[in-house]
Structure 1
Amino acid sequence: MEGAELYSVKWYKGKREFFRYTPKEIPALKSFVVAGLSVERPLSNGSHLTLMAVEPTATGKYSCEVSADLPSFDTMIVSSEMEVVDVPVTKPLITGIKQFYRIGDVVLGNCTSYNSKPAANLTWLLDDKKVCPCFATEPWKEAILHAFVPGTSSCRRA
Structure 2
Amino acid sequence: MWLAPALLLLAHVLTAARAFKITNFHVPAYVPADQTSVDIWCSYDANFTILNWFKGPIEFFRYKPTSVPSTRSFPILGVGTIDLISCGPTECRLRLGHLTEEASGLYRCDLELDKPPYKFETRTGYMRVASRQRRKPVVEGLAGEYYDDEEIQAYCRAENNAEIRWYVNGKEVMEQRGNRSLKVDGKVINSTEPTVTVQCAEFIDGKLIGSKDAQARWKKAIKTLTYTDDSSDQPCAIANSSNFKLSFNIYSHLLCLLVSCVIF
TM-score by length of 1: 0.49
Structure holding more strand per residue: 2
Structure holding more helix per residue: 2
User: Which structure would you say has the larger Rg?
Assistant: 2
TM-score by length of 2: 0.30
